[in-house]
Structure 1
Amino acid sequence: MSLFWSLWIMFLVVLNLGITLFLFLWAPRAKIPVQADGTSGHVWAHGVLREGVQKLPMWWVVLSAAMFVIGFAYLALYPGFGAFKGALGWTSHKELAEASAANEAKLDELMKRFSLYPIEQLAGDPAAQQLGERLFMDNCAACHGRAANGNVLLGAPDLTDNDWLYGGDGKDIYTSIHDGRSGVMPPWASLGEDNVDHLVQYVLSLSGSPHDEKAAEAGKPLFATCAACHGPDGKGNPALGAPNLTDHIWLHGGTVADIHKTIHDGRQGHMPAWSPRLTDDQIRVLAAYVYHVSHHGNASD
């Protein structure tokens, strides 16, 4: 803190404490003119209400005096009076550093224990679940939701259904978090509107969803353009992040309009890499939590 700001703060403290102390000492001794009935002469409601004048109660005087003593003691012991550091030498930075060091020591002990287990086994550890949930809320919930149910508008997958674009074992989940993922579904508007509509019906038929059988039959040959990624049977390819089209799980929505938009306009998905933000140990715990959620239902709210 510069000398100017230190002096300015000291001036404000002295000014405010000086004024309040003066009022505290002067008020009990102030002479207020009163009438014979003990009132000040101020009346309301045509004289029904009159302002009385009474001394301050002793409990108020004692309590206020104690507040001044506490205030002066605080300024003597702790920072607050300009650049004066206080007799105790306490600072918020020092307290934060000590608390952080104590927390890091506890975390180091936990992380050493966590490192002994594979991610799938770590997913069953209550302490790992608790820490993983906090990491998830701080880093993942913005896209995947607090309950990890995903977000169709963002193309963020539901993590509770055990359906995976890039694989769902511990190693695959760790890689997704650590390195991130980028998926691209190219647009197929060049096929023409009729062909896109036929292809939509065929994709619906793959999952057994209600569809137009005639249109689906017409779209079946067109699926050859999709089979390179989704496979000839439409069951997807985790190596490419191509989703399984035979289940009823839709990353961007499963209505006719949603599927039409996906095929016609294409889709782009990006899962950022969290390795620059989180340590490898934290990512392992986070992966264990995601694995736990996918096998035991929704994340806690």
Structure 2
Amino acid sequence: MSTGWSLWVMFLVVLNLGITLFLFLWGPRAKIPTQPDQTSGHVWAHGTIREGVRNLPLWWLLLSGAMFVAGFTYLVLYPGFGSHKGILGWTAHGELARAESINNAKLDELVLRFREYPIEQLANDPAALQMGGRLFVDNCAACHGRGGYGNVKVGAPSLIDDDWLYGGSGKDILSSIHDGRSGLMPPWASLGEDNVKNLANYVLSLSGAPHDAARAAAGKPLFTTCAACHGEQGKGNPALGAPNLTDHIWLHGGKYEDIVRTIGGGRQGHMPAWSKRLTEDQMRVLAAYVYHLSHQGDAAAQAAR
């Protein structure tokens, strides 16, 4: 703190404490003109209610005096009076460092235990899930949602359905978090508007969704272009991040209009790598939490047995 700011703070402290202390000492001794009946003369309701004048109660004087003593003591012990650091040497940075040291000591014990388990087993550890949940909210919820439901507007997949673009094992999930993922589907508008619609109907037919059978039949030969990534049966390819087209789970929406838009305009998605922001231990705990999100039904089934 500069000398100028220090003097300004000291001035404000002295001014405020000085005024309040003066009022505290002067108030009980102030002479207030009163009527013979010990009222101020102020009346309401045609004289039914009159304002009385009484001395401040002793408990109020003692409590207020104690507050002044506490305030002066605080300014001596702790920072608050300009550049005065306080005789205890307390600082916010020091308090934070002590709190972090205590917290890190507790975390170290947990992390050592977490390292002993594979991610799939770690997904059943309440302490790991609590830590992973906090990391998820801080780092992943912006795209995937706080509950992991995903967001079709940004192409963020749901993490609660056990349907994975790049594999759903603990190792696969950790790899996605560690290295990030980049997906690209090229636009196929060059096929022509009519063919794009035919192909969209064929894609809908793969999952048994309502579609135009005639257009789907016309679009089937065109799917050979898509099979290189999605497979001949449309089952997808985790090695490429190509989604399965035979289920009812859609990354960018499963309506006819959405699929036409996806085929015609293409799609591009990117998940950043978190290895630059999170530690290895944090990423393992986060992977365990994500794995847990997609297997909550398994846990419920086991509990019901």
Residues 161 and 297 of structure 1 are in contact (CA less than 8 Å); yes or no, is this contact kept in structure 2? no
| Residue 203, structure 1, aligned to residue 167, structure 2 | no
The alpha-carbon distance between structure 1 residues 165 and 91, as it changes in their structure 2 partners (threshold 3 A), is same
Residues 128 and 285 of structure 1 are in contact (CA less than 8 Å); yes or no, is this contact kept in structure 2? yes
Shift of 1:39: 2.3
Shift of 1:276: 1.1
| Residue 234, structure 1, aligned to residue 234, structure 2 | yes
CA–CA distance in 1 between the matches of 2:7 and 2:67?
A: 24
Cα RMSD of the aligned pairs, angstroms, is 1.5
1:279 counterpart letter in structure 2: T
1:34 counterpart letter in structure 2: T
1:3 counterpart letter in structure 2: T
Deviations 1:197-244 (A, max 9, x none): 111110000011111111100110111111111111111111111100
Q: 2:153 maps to what in 1?
A: 153
Between stretches 29-38 and 18-27, larger displacement belongs to 29-38
Shift of 1:277: 0.8
CA–CA distance in 1 between the matches of 2:152 and 2:34?
A: 75
Residue-pair matches, total = 298
CA–CA distance in 2 between the matches of 1:91 and 1:209?
A: 64
Shift of 1:48: 4.0
Q: 2:216 maps to what in 1?
A: 216
Q: 2:302 maps to what in 1?
A: none
SS in 2 for 1:117: coil
Q: 1:55 maps to what in 2?
A: 55
Deviations 1:141-166 (A, max 9, x none): 11111111111112111111111001
1:114 counterpart letter in structure 2: F
Unpaired runs of 5+ residues, structure 1, are: none
SS in 1 for 2:153: coil
CA–CA distance in 2 between the matches of 1:36 and 1:124?
A: 80
Deviations 1:218-275 (A, max 9, x none): 1101111111111111111111111000011111111111111111111111111111
CA–CA distance in 2 between the matches of 1:72 and 1:121?
A: 56
Q: 1:122 maps to what in 2?
A: 122
Q: How does 1:1-301 map to 2 (within 5 A)?
A: 1-297=1-297
Shift of 1:47: 3.9
1:51 counterpart letter in structure 2: E
Between stretches 2-11 and 42-51, larger displacement belongs to 42-51
Unpaired runs of 5+ residues, structure 2, are: 299-305
CA–CA distance in 2 between the matches of 1:113 and 1:216?
A: 54
Between stretches 8-17 and 35-44, larger displacement belongs to 35-44
SS in 1 for 2:150: coil
**Structure 1 length normalisation: TM-score?**
0.95
Deviations 1:96-149 (A, max 9, x none): 101101111221222122112221222222221111111111111111111111
1:88 counterpart letter in structure 2: L
Deviations 1:31-71 (A, max 9, x none): 11122232223334444443322211221111111111111
**Structure 2 length normalisation: TM-score?**
0.94
CA–CA distance in 2 between the matches of 1:228 and 1:47?
A: 97
Residues 168 and 291 of structure 1 are in contact (CA less than 8 Å); yes or no, is this contact kept in structure 2? yes
